[in-house]
Structure 1
Amino acid sequence: MRHLIIIIITLMIQPIYVKGDNNQLYKQLDAALAQRAHYVELKEKNLNEIKQGAKYVTSNEDKLKLYEQLANEYKAYEYDSAMTYVNKGLILAQKSNNILFNKRFQLSQTRLLITRGFYAEAKEILQKIEPQEDSHDYQFLYYYTLYGLYNNWATFCENNEFSKNYNQQKVKYLKKAIELSPKKDAFYYYLMGELYYFSNHPNNNKTIQYYKKALSMEKANSRLHAMTAFALSEVYQKANNLELMEHYLLVAAISDVTSATKENVALQDIALFIYKHKTRSLKKAQEYINLSLEDAYTYNNRLRRIEISSKLQLITNAYTDDIKTTNRLLNIALLVIILLLLGVGISSLFIRKKNRLLKQKKDEISATSAKMEILNGQLHLINDELKDTNQKRERLVKVYIDLCYKNIERNSKLRTLAVRKIKANQSKELLSLLSSSTSTEKENKEFLTEFDKAFLSLYPTFVSELNQQLTESAHIQLKENGEMPPILRVCALLRLGITESSKIAGILSYSPQTVYNYRSILKNNAIDKEHFEENVLKLCMIIA
């Protein structure tokens, strides 16, 4: 009786434990994804060490072993490099008349072709290198490759009229591979799990036992660990145990990331799982599916890219719909806020006039106030943004007042000087002083400096947004001291709605021809030449 109670309690708390464990695994996955570059760096370091060792290899057989090792290391990391070393091995094996390695490299070539979906071509090669009196090791690799071919082919057919034959073939060759497999190692238990999975009901306890045995014997950052965890997720998917399915998908994805595996499926399946079951935000699902697509492009797997693109469209559409729904709710919330504020105002007037109804309305006002407290939190964010905008505008007003004051003071001093010189009959000296360009240049420079600061303060993203309208070779940058170059000042005045070249020339103290030349350069280098100046008017519509 006691054992029965313990079993019942265990079954009751297991879903809670697994769910909490999955939350922790999501954190581990995100942490691993944040370190993707580090794991790739470790992978590249390992590959470079193997390549460095090639300098000391002299015999053909040692070179063939080295090529095979590099091909295997690249197999799930980068298709093109893996195929490069396979081809090098084939050439050297043929040149040195090494029949065994020639067959082994053709097997490696076949496995790579299978990942790209070239099943007929892979089968044709396998028919040419069927084992005769070859070693057990070669025979094992041969039948395991055939199993992989028909397994992928059956999956590709998606239960059509050819699937039954392919499924029979894969089980047939899987059994042959197991007969030749080294016993009692992790890969053996993995293959036994595969055999029970495809031969019996997927939820068979033996299947799970074999997979878990293989999982316990492998390092967490190995390719086999990821494959076994992914296989377990499929077992639990068939058993409709979604939490354990999610658990082992996460374990598989973490193994893929930490082993720098680019030919992977787990991460995209997690994204699809989130999309279907809403266990996380759709934004997270989109992040995972985008990373999966990035891996597929890195590995150069055409089939995987097509597969992920279809899932990406589903998730992106759902994410877009989610954003639209959120925006609609925000608009409704804003409308409710306005209505509530109006309601509060009307209620206040009504309360003053109808004191005798105070008690009856008290509960209604309390409920309204509770709703307002929730919505006021959202208003604080909007108010903070408005305060920041107002502060920027106040600074610009101050700049404008300072410029006006300096101009008034300058004119007053000039008028006083002119009166004094005229009274002293120093008209020639006054004329010489007024004709000097030094003072004017200094004033113009001060004005342009203040203009640059004020404009860039109001539109801090103007330069980057403008460069998006221009071709890459024509991008404009600020000077080292933070000032705008002349051509950028012309754009700034265009943004402020000053479109007449004569006005722009007068403000900036340039010649009209210079302004015309700058406008021509900008238009010629614009991506949309016809609507360039209209597009400039639309830049920085929101003050950051």
Structure 2
Amino acid sequence: MRNLLFTALLLAIAPFALAQNDLKSVLSQLDATLSHRDSYIAGREQRIESLKSILGKSDFSDAQRYILNQQLIDEYTPYQADSTIDYLYRNINLAKKMRDTRRLDESRIQLAYLYSSAGIYLEAATLLQQVDTTKLDRKQLVDYYVARHKLNDELQLYSHDSVQGTQSWHLTVLYAQLIVDNTEPESTTHLNFLLWQAINDRNYEQAVEISERLCSTLPPISRDYAEASYMRALVADLMKDTFTAQVWFARSAMTDIQLAIRDNAALKSLANTLLDDDNIQRAMRYMRIVMDDARFFNSRLRPWQDALALHVIEEAYMARRKRMDSMYNIFVASIACFMLLALGGVIFVLRQNRKLSFARLELQQANNRLNISNNDLQRINKQLAELNSQISEANEVKEEYIGIFLTMCSEYIDKIIASRRQVRRLLRDGRIDELKKEYSPSDGDSRELEEFYHNFDTTFLQLYPTFIEDFNSLLNKEARIEPKKGELLNTELRIFALIRLGINDSSKIAALLRYSVSTIYNYRSKIKGHTLVSRDNFEERIKTIGAFSPQHL
């Protein structure tokens, strides 16, 4: 018997648990969709601006302009009421100008339906009275019946006159049947009004079947699907199946968001059902979005409807707040009791501490000795830091003097070369007697330069013995540089050796190595083209080769 009861309990709980999981999943999907809301709105705005740009051209006929206006009306209808009304009036004027009765009636019917949705009932009724139903084709006649149904449905909902309300109710039933009779059996309009009739007759099983058939056949990202899933949720709500209603409201809201529909009801209806403590914050967040959409859509009736829903949610939020305040008071009282217990514990600990005072004294003395040791260690660390600074400074001085030495050597070579050139000029002019005792013509320039290169290479590699290896590690394998047999450094290595010594200017490097500035620039650019590191950081990395670090202590 116990096993049977347990099994029955599990079977009863299982659907509830599955529904909760479905709701959590679809709410997570809805929140993810809401995070991209701005991009969906931007997509609709882009389509609208594109149509406006096309419409801005002046070479369209009235008929073509009417069609473009209608495309804009289709974009604006679920998005912004004012703009929809503006373009519908433009089409009404164009139809009058063209004397096109069919298009005139079409635009009047559309505008009447929009006025009915917005709570502008008198103007809607006036527009519908101007339509000659004897001249309408079947589709237009169905649209006319739909507009009439919408107007009377709104009037019976919001009219304060009971006679008017009853009359409007009977007319909604009449027009719903006319729509059913004049539409194809499997068309979306036919099924929608069969669904309306089933709900009106409280035949909820049939309403579920029709709404689910609509949801399964319509494209998931379409306004018809959003309306069908909203009606499926409404039927579930009427059947007191809250979890199912919430799931379908969320699916309808997701479609509204993906289509950038701002004349929507699903998100508001969903928020109105999320009144439990776990979801009340989410409901408030959804209602802020709903109110934002209502302000943007700018319908006369919608903000009032949303304000009523917001009031219900605010009351639920305040009730939750009161519960939270009560829980807070209980929590504070519990903390107070805990503090009293803690105070008793502290008194007990203080008494025990008196027995440990001698141990504390010894510990304090040990801490004092440790502090003295720490001070000594800090002093030693400070001295070590000063020593490191001195070593770094000496390293910098060493590098600076190497640069000075190289400059002096270069200047000396310049003087020798200049002297030799002067001797040659004197010899060329025939003043041999002045110089033949001390000078004789020779071609020693290159030899002096080679000696200079050799001295530089030897000195530099003594200071930075791993320079070539470290330099090549910064280059691609195929671009690495190895001096020829008998060479210590070649031209490319000498250029970057000078950069390592802090000589960055290409003109100075050119003067030291006896090359043109453009040649030095080309060498530097060529090497940078094969570096494994950033071109901008390559020369800075060169300057760190062989640099002093604490590891050398």
| TM bracket (short chain) | 0.5 to 0.7
For residue 32 of structure 2, what is the aligned residue in structure 1?
31
For residue 146 of structure 1, what is the aligned residue in structure 2?
148
Identify if the C-alpha distance between structure 1 residues 150 and 58 changes in structure 2 by more than 3 Å, giving closer, same or farther. Answer: same
Secondary structure at 1:132 match in 2: helix
For residue 494 of structure 1, what is the aligned residue in structure 2?
none
Which whole-Å deviations, capped at 9, do the CAs of 1:457-485 have from their partners, x for residues lacking one?
Answer: xxxxxxxxxxxxxxxxxxxxxxxxxxxxx
For residue 165 of structure 1, what is the aligned residue in structure 2?
167
Aligned equivalents of 1:109 and 1:66: distance in 2?
Answer: 17
Secondary structure at 1:147 match in 2: helix
For residue 58 of structure 1, what is the aligned residue in structure 2?
60
Map 1:58-207 → 2, pairs under 5 A = 58-157=60-159, 160-198=162-200, 200-203=201-204, 205-207=205-207
Give the AA of the match of 2:48. L
Secondary structure at 2:133 match in 1: coil
Aligned equivalents of 2:287 and 2:160: distance in 1?
Answer: 22
Conservation of the 8 A alpha-carbon contact between 1:130 and 1:142: no
For residue 498 of structure 2, what is the aligned residue in structure 1?
none
Give 1:106 shift: 0.7
Give 1:347 shift: 5.3
Moved over 4 A (4+): 8-12, 158-161, 347-353
Give the AA of the match of 1:19. Q
Larger radius of gyration, structure 1 or 2? 2
Which whole-Å deviations, capped at 9, do the CAs of 1:144-186 have from their partners, x for residues lacking one?
Answer: 1111111222222489554333222112112212233244233
For residue 307 of structure 1, what is the aligned residue in structure 2?
305
Which whole-Å deviations, capped at 9, do the CAs of 1:277-332 have from their partners, x for residues lacking one?
Answer: x1633221111111111111000012111122233233234424533543453354
Identify if the C-alpha distance between structure 1 residues 148 and 9 changes in structure 2 by more than 3 Å, giving closer, same or farther. Answer: farther
For residue 282 of structure 2, what is the aligned residue in structure 1?
284
Aligned equivalents of 2:173 and 2:14: distance in 1?
Answer: 37
Give the AA of the match of 1:218. L
The gaps in structure 2 that reach 5 residues or longer are 1-8, 352-553
Identify if the C-alpha distance between structure 1 residues 231 and 57 changes in structure 2 by more than 3 Å, giving closer, same or farther. Answer: farther
The gaps in structure 1 that reach 5 residues or longer are 1-7, 354-544
Give the AA of the match of 1:214. L
Higher mean Cα deviation, 241-250 or 11-20?
11-20
For residue 445 of structure 2, what is the aligned residue in structure 1?
none
Give 1:60 shift: 2.2
Aligned equivalents of 2:214 and 2:70: distance in 1?
Answer: 25
Identify if the C-alpha distance between structure 1 residues 218 and 159 changes in structure 2 by more than 3 Å, giving closer, same or farther. Answer: farther
Give 1:57 shift: 6.7
Give the AA of the match of 1:224. D
Secondary structure at 2:186 match in 1: coil
Higher mean Cα deviation, 138-147 or 154-163?
154-163
Identify if the C-alpha distance between structure 1 residues 51 and 121 changes in structure 2 by more than 3 Å, giving closer, same or farther. Answer: same
Conservation of the 8 A alpha-carbon contact between 2:81 and 2:298: yes
Conservation of the 8 A alpha-carbon contact between 1:187 and 1:224: no
Identify if the C-alpha distance between structure 1 residues 352 and 70 changes in structure 2 by more than 3 Å, giving closer, same or farther. Answer: closer
TM-score (norm 2): 0.57
For residue 238 of structure 1, what is the aligned residue in structure 2?
238
Aligned equivalents of 2:182 and 2:51: distance in 1?
Answer: 29
Give the AA of the match of 1:43. R
Q: Does residue 15 of structure 1 match 2:13?
A: no
For residue 397 of structure 1, what is the aligned residue in structure 2?
none
For residue 212 of structure 2, what is the aligned residue in structure 1?
212
For residue 523 of structure 1, what is the aligned residue in structure 2?
none
Conservation of the 8 A alpha-carbon contact between 1:186 and 1:213: no
Give the AA of the match of 2:194. M
Give the AA of the match of 1:58. F
For residue 328 of structure 2, what is the aligned residue in structure 1?
330
Cα RMSD, aligned residues only = 3.0
TM-score (norm 1): 0.58
Aligned equivalents of 1:339 and 1:12: distance in 2?
Answer: 39
Identity of aligned residues (%): 19
Which whole-Å deviations, capped at 9, do the CAs of 1:336-369 have from their partners, x for residues lacking one?
Answer: 224313213325757999xxxxxxxxxxxxxxxx
Aligned equivalents of 2:308 and 2:206: distance in 1?
Answer: 35
Aligned equivalents of 1:161 and 1:34: distance in 2?
Answer: 47
Identify if the C-alpha distance between structure 1 residues 179 and 257 changes in structure 2 by more than 3 Å, giving closer, same or farther. Answer: same
Which whole-Å deviations, capped at 9, do the CAs of 1:27-63 have from their partners, x for residues lacking one?
Answer: 1111111111011011112223333443497232222
Aligned equivalents of 1:144 and 1:109: distance in 2?
Answer: 12
Aligned equivalents of 2:161 and 2:245: distance in 1?
Answer: 22
For residue 253 of structure 1, what is the aligned residue in structure 2?
253
Aligned equivalents of 2:164 and 2:69: distance in 1?
Answer: 37
Q: Does residue 296 of structure 1 match 2:294?
A: yes
Aligned equivalents of 1:243 and 1:162: distance in 2?
Answer: 36
Conservation of the 8 A alpha-carbon contact between 2:179 and 2:190: no
Give 1:208 shift: 1.6
Secondary structure at 2:307 match in 1: helix
Conservation of the 8 A alpha-carbon contact between 2:272 and 2:283: yes
